[in-house]
Amino acid sequence: MPTAPLNYEPMVFAPRTGEAAPLSAIQEEILALKKERNAVILAHNYQIEAIQRVADYVGDSLGLAYRAEEADCDAIVFCGVHFMAETAKIINPQTPVYLPDLEAGCSLSDSCPAEKLAAYKEAHPDTYVVAYINCSAAVKALSDVICTSGNATKIVERIPADREILFVPDQNLGQWVSKEIGRTMQLWPGSCYAHVLFTQQAIERLKLKFPDAKVVAHPECIETVRDNADVVCSTEKMVHYCRDDAANQFIVITETGMIHRLQSEIPDKTFIAGPTDTCACNECRYMKMNTIEKLRDCLRDQGPAIEMPENVRQKAYAPIKRMLEWSK
């Protein structure tokens, strides 16, 4: 039982009452520009609330990939991180894809450079490579199939039992999948710098204050955190779980932006931000590079745009297409 008290106030989001605040002038400007450009705004669940409110679709990596595939518009503005916008471009090459800040990267993607994966494949030519979608187009191009946190177990289960699997780049998601379906895999030593900051100790301290709260955790968290959660799932599945479960309070062990989505879908329940040992919340510095001003500028200036060599795009598309088919 933990003895040390919390050294910060928990971040608690109480049920929402009353009307939503009116949109700001810049949000109205974005909606007008979106119409003028015939653009679609896709936003990840971790984006700030001001962006989520003007998006056409807010969701997880898998939902966003399907929306990018079906988008019939003159431009996609992707409010997420670079690998997500790149995936949209790979799937929907004829449509310009803009990212409000091209520097919005991902520590998981950075942990698996394509040259290192190519060297591994040369040394292990029979390995089947499963790549978590949080990787570059060059890494996708070297992979056999892509997965997201929403379909990872389903995808790995489709791979013939006699094949040796290398799972890149997230060792935590890979370890979770391995345990869930009882399949041994080689795990690339990458991790999400933000999700590994959640600790079981910090969650236990919070549970002393909120004993009735259910704990929902993302599979990018470390094993002790995952093992003690009530459910481990993708950000989209968190919405379904919190809506359907009888509990009224949830401790949300993922990036704090998720709570805006949860509150807008389930306004009558209480959400508590997942804590680290030193902070009541946990934001991804890359996701938070997108601001409402950069989104407006991006629509106005029609850029910055995602570009990649066509040969890389084609090679990266094959394993994504496999994933989209396998996960239907």
Query: What is d(CA 223, CA 186) in angstroms, rounded to the nearest whole number?
Result: 17
Pull the structure tokens for residue 143: 């992979």
Residues 262-291 that bind ligand 13P (CB under 6 A): none
Rounded to 10 degrees, the C-alpha dihedral 165/87/312/118 comes to -30
CA-nearest of 171, 218, 177, 167 to 190 is 171
Q: Please pick, from the candidates 33, 60, 67, 78, the single residue that binds ligand 13P as defined by CB under 6 A.
A: 60
Residue 284 is a binding residue for ligand SF4 (CB under 6 A): yes
Q: What is the CA radius of gyration of the chain?
A: 20
Q: Which residues touch 104 (CB under 8 Å, ≥6 apart)?
A: 80, 81, 82, 286, 287, 289, 290
> Do residues 150 and 62 touch, judged by C-beta distance below 8 A?
yes
327 binds, among ligand SF4, ligand 13P, none (CB under 5 to 8 A by kind): none
d(CA 309, CA 328) in angstroms, rounded, equals: 29
Chosen residue from 42, 62, 138, 194 binding ligand SF4 by CB under 6 A: 194
Residues numbered 136 to 195 that lie near ligand 13P (CB under 6 A) are 148-150, 192
Distance CA 173, CA 153 (A): 10
CB of 31 to ligand SF4, least distance (A): 26
Handedness of CA 149, 155, 157, 160 (dihedral sign): negative
- When asked if residue 235 is in the footprint of ligand 13P (CB under 6 A), the reply is yes
Least Å from the CB of residue 125 to ligand SF4:
29
**Which residue from 54, 79, 156, 192 is in contact with ligand SF4, where contact means CB under 6 A?**
192
- Select the span of 149-157, 175-183, 208-216, 284-292 touching ligand SF4 (CB under 6 A): 284-292
Between 33 and 55, CB nearer to ligand SF4: 55
Q: Rank residues 159 and 196 by Cβ distance to ligand SF4 and give the closer one.
A: 196
Q: How far is the CB of 239 from ligand 13P (least distance, A)?
A: 10
DSSP 192-220: -TTGGGB-HHHHHHHHHH-TT-EEEE-TT
Q: Which does 107 bind (CB under 5 to 8 A by kind): ligand SF4, ligand 13P, none?
A: ligand SF4
DSSP lists the bridge partners of residue 87 as none
How many amino acids of this chain bind ligand SF4 (CB under 6 A)? 14
Does residue number 86 form part of the binding site for ligand 13P (CB under 6 A)?
Answer: no
Please identify which residue in 30, 65, 81, 133 interacts with ligand SF4, judged by CB under 6 A. 81
Residues forming the site for ligand SF4 (CB under 6 A):
81, 106-108, 134, 192-195, 220, 255, 284, 286-287
Q: Which residues bind ligand 13P (CB under 6 A)?
A: 45, 60-61, 134, 148-150, 192, 218, 220, 234-235
